[in-house]
Amino acid sequence: MAIRELKVCLLGDTGVGKSSIVCRFVQDHFDHNISPTIGASFMTKTVPCGNELHKFLIWDTAGQERFHSLAPMYYRGSAAAVIVYDITKQDSFHTLKKWVKELKEHGPENIVMAIAGNKCDLSDIREVPLKDAKEYAESIGAVVVETSAKNAINIEELFQGISHDPRVAGLSPASGSLLSREPASPSAPPPTCTLSQMNKS
Ligand SMILES: Nc1nc2c(ncn2[C@@H]2O[C@H](COP(=O)(O)OP(=O)(O)O)[C@@H](O)[C@H]2O)c(=O)[nH]1
Ligand SMILES: [Mg+2]
């Protein structure tokens, strides 16, 4: 069976649940005391998609401002970006819009943007209406889904949405090589970058 490798990066404010989403997707696990990401962490997961396998090469970035300058190393060459906000924090939705702007200005052309409104298990203290997120996503041609890494809601669906996006399917024939928007772009950042495996306490 042919394998497509899809580089995907996660962007968004600190604490919105980026690492928890990756941890749920890759390990089907949730850790209340998950450690903050330093620099970025890398994980992979292979899933069937039609008569192909899609191997997600997932770069989970740190949201802190001091790591912002590293972000281009992760979104460059990405087939998709998962941009995460916390439905209980309006500020995080504002930050998401800044990431979208940066991707549009400096990211790969036609990168698939998937918006995740995480922590939907906390909808009783919601600050961001789903309607607002849907309207915004539609205006920028992104997909949006509300997720809960904690309760395993819509995590698979989020990545399936990327897998099935026609822009991903149409990238190139499945060849076993990295599907990259920019052929010269590295699939891994330069060695000067701080990397850590996902820390779990
Ligand atoms: N209630 C709830 N808490 C979550 C969810 N996802 C993450 N968290 C918590 O939010 C905090 C930050 O999560 P983390 O994955 O480190 O966020 P990151 O900084 O974006 O990577 C941690 O305490 C997580 O346990 C979720 O879906 N629901
Ligand atoms: Mg993190």
Asked whether 102 lines ligand 1 (CB < 6 A), one says no
| Pocket-testing residue among 10, 13, 19, 20, ligand 1, by greatest number of atoms within 8 A of Cβ | 20
Cα of 86 to ligand 1 centre, how many Å? 9
User: Which residues of the chain are under the pLDDT cut of 50?
Assistant: 175-201
Cα of 1 to ligand 1 centre, how many Å? 35
- Beta-strand relationship, 80-86 and 112-118: parallel
Asked whether 108 lines ligand 1 (CB < 6 A), one says no
Residue type, 128: V
SS (H, E, C) the chain: CEEEEEEEEEECCCCCCHHHHHHHHHHCCCCCCCCCCCCEEEEEEEEEECCEEEEEEEEEECCCHHHHHHHHHHHCCCCEEEEEEECCCHHHHHHHHHHHHHHHHHCCCCCEEEEEEECHHHHHHCCCCHHHHHHHHHHHCCEEEECECCCCECHHHHHHHHHCCHHHHCCCCCCCCEECCCCCCCCCCCCCCCECCCCCC
Question: Residue 67's pLDDT is what?
Answer: 84
Cα of 197 to ligand 2 centre, how many Å? 11
Question: Residue 173's pLDDT is what?
Answer: 52
Cα of 63 to ligand 2 centre, how many Å? 7
pTM, entire model: 0.88
Asked whether 92 lines ligand 1 (CB < 6 A), one says no
**In CATH, which of 2.60.120.620, 3.40.50.300, 3.40.50.880, 3.30.420.10 is domain 3-168?**
3.40.50.300
- List pLDDT tens digits, range 9-31: 999 999 999 999 999 999 999 99
- List pLDDT tens digits, range 77-112: 999 999 999 999 999 999 999 999 999 999 999 899
